[in-house]
Chain A
């Protein structure tokens, strides 16, 4: 038996192909939206994976350090390091800032890490160029997406930093590239007030009678010295000993240190289920709307194509073609349109995905799911046209 659907498509292949390309661009947008969502999830996962930590110890009762502000003194690690099962700790400070570079504003996450030895939790696990930070101040390692070059000097707040190393896929949960600097610099960037504010604060403290009590010499100096120090961090990242249960270690830390400790799974939940929940819902809504629009467009195209063939369908029915042959023809064309649309959409998403400012992750399983959904949509959308075709009276082929 001749494949009527294929013959019809080949007869008007240009029109069919262009229709498929148009549909494909719409499908490309849909796949890209799914890719944006996957990119957000992946950003969260790489943030966790690349930190090299098993536990995140943060200020009690907060969802820090990524989802909520958290502040700890930078010496709490000593107590944590003494808890059974803890192999290594690392102070970390995180701050997202707008960095001016070559006349362009770039949003980056400044990460303060301890540089006394490499591979502390929190440090970038690998470099694509350059070397680790060796000096205690004014050196930086940047993610490649920050657009910085090795040896380049970049101004972050009050100081200039030399880029000594480059790394890859080190991004915040929002997808902003990370710039690693020595912890003390990051503390200064985050917690230390500017000079004007310090002068004002000193004057304010000096005028406070509570700090000028007779018989307590040096109290004012001590208070003012404390104001110029930045001794806080946002989190202590903990690596547990091999064989140790991270959840049990987290419980111990919470019990004895009055801090909150999150395991890897809990942090993943915070970053993926909580932090990007609203964005995920937003994208989900977008995907649903795009699916409905795609279905409506496919239905309209197939319906129009069917209406253009009323006479041919009437003749086919008159000469004895069974309903399933006519329905099969319409269904196959709808599916072919879906296949062309999917191929074009996948290629388009692959081409324009890297140009997006945020990471677009196109997963093969998402593509396969998308393909199945598109075919389902096409099949459902063709049902309107099939119903119309099956209602065509073969008598329409006979005049009068």
Chain B
């Protein structure tokens, strides 16, 4: 890995406190994390450890309480938001893959993927072209005109991954992306994420409990009681 590169994600002492006074809960107690472009990193930990809070902070969905957060070299939080338009930040710099695909049921497969570039202002034709490229890369181009309900669970998850990449986001946050899948399909999704990270130089953070896929990560952040501990993963070939 070329360490001269700018990290896709750099968190320094990131804290998040819910509530105030005696009922305050410190969900994150100073998280440090660095993820490089092209890297797939696992974020694991028991329930209530702060995984989802960290993911929401990373996704600019909730505001941290303190610390510093950089995405692709841009400081977005430093004891306060440094970016005014968080929606645009999410749209342009962060891709999301959820536990369930959460595709828009009233759009067909192509438009589910093309919607993101369209929201960013691209014209329909080029947005659809981009969508077809990604669907081809993810091997679901043959279902491009299908409605979401006609897809299998695995196909839906691949379309969701394609959507997360549609705006060339430097960071993808995947929240339990293999939870509803069997072993074979789960490993396929991880392989796809690894391939895409390599091909598009995208940094991918995978939040997971899934014992099947944890051994595939080369680097894992364990989170417990609001603090992260980095360790090397097995990096088992898929």
Contacts and interface: CB of A to CB of B under 8 A. Distances in A.
A2 B61 contact: no
Interface string B152-170: 0000000000010000000
Given A2-B115, A398-B175, A322 B106 contact: no
A398 B55 contact: yes
A11 B103 CA distance: 14
Interface residues of B, number: 33
A87 interface: no
Interface residues of A, number: 26
B52 A320 contact: no
Nearest to B163: A319
Interface in A349-400: 393-395, 397-400
B82 interface: no
Nearest to A311: B102
Interface string A4-20: 10011011100000000
A60 B225 CA distance: 98
A318 interface: yes
B120 A315 contact: no
Contact of B104 (A316, A320, A325, A400): A316
Contacts of B106: 4, 7-8, 10-12, 312
A321 B102 contact: no
Interface string B57-99: 0010110000000000000000000000001101110001011
B176 A399 contact: yes
A1 interface: yes
Nearest to A9: B106
A317 interface: yes
Contacts of B138: none
B206 interface: no
A391 to B, nearest CB: 15
Contact of B91 (A8, A315, A319, A399): A319
B118 A1 contact: yes
A399 B107 contact: no
14 contacts: A2-B111, A2-B115, A4-B107, A11-B147, A311-B102, A312-B105, A319-B91, A319-B96, A321-B119, A398-B96, A398-B98, A399-B99, A399-B175, A400-B55
A398 B61 contact: yes
B219 interface: no
Contact of A312 (B62, B96, B104, B175): B104
Contacts of A399: 52, 98-99, 175-176
A320 B87 contact: yes
B116 interface: yes
B55 A7 contact: no
Contacts of A320: 87-88, 90-92, 116, 119-120
B124 A400 contact: no
A315 B96 CA distance: 9
Contacts of A11: 105-106, 147
Contacts of A7: 106-107, 111
Question: Main SS of chain A's interface residues?
Answer: helix
Question: Main SS of chain B's interface residues?
Answer: helix
A151 B119 CA distance: 76
Contacts of A317: 87
Contacts of B99: 399
A350 to B, nearest CB: 33
A312 B56 CA distance: 18
A400 to B, nearest CB: 3
Nearest to B59: A398
- State the 3 A-B residue pairs at the shortest beta-carbon distance, nearest first: A320-B91, A400-B52, A11-B106
B118 A2 contact: yes
Given A312-B104, A394-B61, A398-B175, A318 B96 contact: yes
Contacts of A12: 106
Given A320-B116, A320-B120, A400-B52, A395 B104 contact: no
Given A315-B98, A399-B99, 6 more contacts: A312-B104, A319-B91, A319-B116, A320-B92, A321-B119, A397-B96
Pick the most buried of A8, A318, A393: most chain B CB atoms within 10 A of its CB. Answer: A318
A324 to B, nearest CB: 11
Nearest to B179: A399
B51 interface: yes
B159 to A, nearest CB: 13
B171 to A, nearest CB: 13
B43 to A, nearest CB: 12
A400 B59 CA distance: 14
Given A318-B61, A318-B96, A322-B87, A397 B52 contact: no
B52 A318 contact: no
Contact of A2 (B59, B90, B107, B120): B107
